[in-house]
Amino acid sequence: MQRRYIIIALLLSIFFLLLLGLWAMRPALASFVRHRTEGILQEHFASSVQFADFQVSFTAGLHVTVSQLVLRYHGRQDIPPLIQIAQLSIALRPLNIVRPRPHIATVRLAGLQITLPPRELATPPMLRAGDLRDKSPIVIDFLQTDNAKITLLRGQSAKAPLEFLLHHLELTNINFENPAKFTATLTNAVPKGEIEVGGVFGPWNGETPRNTFVQAQYHLRNANLATINGLQGTLSSVGTFSGPLDYLAVKGSTETPDFTLGSVGNPIALHTDFVAVVDGTNGNTYLQSVVARFLRSSLVVTGEVVDLNRDVPSRTVNLDTYSENARVEDLIRLAVKTEEPVLIGLTRLQAKIRIPEEDVDLSQRLEVSSEFRVDDGTFTKPAIQERIDSLSRKGQGQPKNDEIAQVQCELTGAMHLEKGVIHFSGLRFSVPGAKVNLRGSYTLVGGKVDFHGNLFLDAKLSQTTTGPKALLLKALDPFFADRSGGSRLPIKIVGTSAHPQFGLDRGHNDRVASHATQTSP
């Protein structure tokens, strides 16, 4: 029994001496921890290290608190620091700091700001995971930060940087051999909305931070399209992204139940599936494929959204689009402010869309060059459709045949939209017995119509009516005769889309036109 007490007393004495030794070695151990921490940060982030205060506590393990930590990428003073942290807190076991590969239990960050330099300021060498592991051998079990900010500096100095606000970020199992798992919630800048992200990140590339790899899934909620000049609606999106930070491949879909062009005000439900590449150095987006579906139509789009003008905060949009399955009434509802589209029918089109970088409403910036074809079109307004039916009857030489009704039309042509006005060229409109070639313009705001061209009829002019009028028009047949044996009349369509006015174009032949105006179709 006495021997047992002696052994216990000896062990307690040894333990006390160890504690006393550790207590005496506190300044040296604290200096070692500080030196080791600075070395790891310097090697890992390829940056100079500055801080206002460095505290080491041995209460309930080893705790390190660093205040006002600043890491300057390669020591540069001409750009903002790579990382700024108001307070860095580290918890680990004391013996873990002296191991060849320190093992840290938790890291908590307050006031984190990360500023990634433009690509041209990053050094070209790209370290391998093994190099990082050897230079910065460290493992962190858990890292957490709230209310952090990530800033991507732009290659164009006049352009405002891209900023992302991270409400919450957690990473687990951080090392330099394998990616770390992470979850985050953040605010997307344009369009402004909240994003939930989860995936893997890293290993961190200290020499070229933008080459750090990330792979994740995201969910964007309630993004306000009004933050893009000229658009309105609330957008949600889900998808995935992967690649280095400055060259992310993105694949996903969007839902906008109330999409509208700002000046049009006709909300529609818009769904898109897309594949794109995002350049993190400047925010440029390259659309490899976008399939947009709305109402009963679908469009396929490729193109880019890029920075071209250093002095304007917006971006240039260049898109190519085509469709074999669209409805003309859907396109009219999307682009024109009207309660009811004037024309319905199946359309095929291809178009080039350009939105230059100007600080004006989208309707004034939008430029569209398009070729289109409408098959089996009909007009929704009875007054207009009756005129079309009458045109077909007279064109076939059967002006009293009421069985010719609700005729369908074909429409082909080319158009160019610029500054809110659509200019048409090679516009061809045809119904059984008649066809029209037109050129002219249509104003989106107000619906002003101004078209001029020629009307071709299969019948002679005198065959378009009956009775005394027919006899009168026989004398005019030679003046309007066409080589095909029918008639050709110069015409105009003016007024507005709601109240169009059809008539002979008096500039063709004042005397003959004035005599025939009251009797011609």
Asked if residue 133 is part of any domain, the answer here is: yes
Highest mean pLDDT among 93-107, 130-144, 251-265, 388-402: 388-402
Question: Residues 380, 383, 389, 390: what is their CA dihedral angle, to the nearest 10 degrees?
Answer: -170
Indicate the pairing of strand 139-152 with strand 113-116. Answer: parallel
Q: Is residue 374's pLDDT more than 50?
A: yes
- Domain final residue, candidates 131, 163, 178: 178
Asked if residue 345 is part of any domain, the answer here is: no
Q: Is residue 9's pLDDT more than 60?
A: no
Higher pLDDT, 361 or 306: 306
For 130-144, 247-261, 437-451, which range has the lowest pLDDT when averaged over its residues? 130-144
- pTM listed for this prediction: 0.72
Asked if residue 109 is part of any domain, the answer here is: yes
Angle at 442 between CA 385 and CA 422, to 5 degrees: 125
Q: How many domains is the chain partitioned into structurally?
A: 2
pLDDT for the residue numbered 290:
93
Q: Would you place residue 103 in the very low, low, confident or very high pLDDT band (cuts 50, 70, 90)?
A: confident
Helix (DSSP H) and strand (DSSP E) numbers for the chain: 8, 26
Residues 6 or more apart from 101 whose CB is under 8 A from it? 137, 138, 139
Q: What is the mean pLDDT of residues 420-432?
A: 90
Distance CA 183, CA 150 (A): 15
Asked if residue 155 is part of any domain, the answer here is: yes
Q: Which residues of 83-119 are buried (b: 16+ CB within 10 A; e: fewer)?
A: bbbebbbbbbeeebbeeeebbbeebebebbbbbbbbb
Asked if residue 334 is part of any domain, the answer here is: no
Q: Would you place residue 440 in the very low, low, confident or very high pLDDT band (cuts 50, 70, 90)?
A: very high
pLDDT for the residue numbered 231:
78
pLDDT for the residue numbered 4:
58
Higher pLDDT, 34 or 126: 34
Q: Is residue 385's pLDDT more than 50?
A: yes
Q: What is the mean pLDDT of residues 482-508?
A: 83
Distance CA 163, CA 157 (A): 15
How many other C-beta atoms are found inside a 10 Å radius of the C-beta of residue 196?
16
Q: Which residues of 235-262 are buried (b: 16+ CB within 10 A; e: fewer)?
A: bebebebebbbbebebebebebeebbbb
Per-residue pLDDT reduced to its tens digit, 21-41: 444 445 555 676 677 777 777
Higher pLDDT, 96 or 206: 206
Distance CA 438, CA 429 (A): 8
pLDDT for the residue numbered 102:
72
Q: What is the mean pLDDT of residues 124-145?
A: 59
* % of the chain exceeding 90 in pLDDT: 26
Q: What is the mean pLDDT of residues 216-231?
A: 84
Q: What is the mean pLDDT of residues 360-387?
A: 84
Higher pLDDT, 92 or 486: 486
- Domain final residue, candidates 160, 178, 196: 178
Q: What is the mean pLDDT of residues 268-289?
A: 85
Q: Would you place residue 130 in the very low, low, confident or very high pLDDT band (cuts 50, 70, 90)?
A: very low
Residue 34 is encoded by which pair of tokens?
């500080």
pLDDT for the residue numbered 15:
46
Residue 357 is encoded by which pair of tokens?
């970088």
Asked if residue 314 is part of any domain, the answer here is: no
Q: Is residue 93's pLDDT more than 80?
A: no
Per-residue pLDDT reduced to its tens digit, 138-165: 788 899 999 998 887 766 555 667 778 8
Backbone φ and ψ of 172, nearest 5°:
-125, 150
pLDDT for the residue numbered 434:
92
Higher pLDDT, 322 or 512: 322
pLDDT for the residue numbered 324:
85
Domain of residue 37: give its range: 25-178
- Domain final residue, candidates 118, 144, 178: 178
pLDDT for the residue numbered 20:
43
With residue 123 as reference, give the H or E element that holds it. Answer: none
Asked if residue 107 is part of any domain, the answer here is: yes
Asked if residue 120 is part of any domain, the answer here is: yes
Residue where the block lists tokens 């300057």: 72
Q: Is residue 517's pLDDT more than 50?
A: no
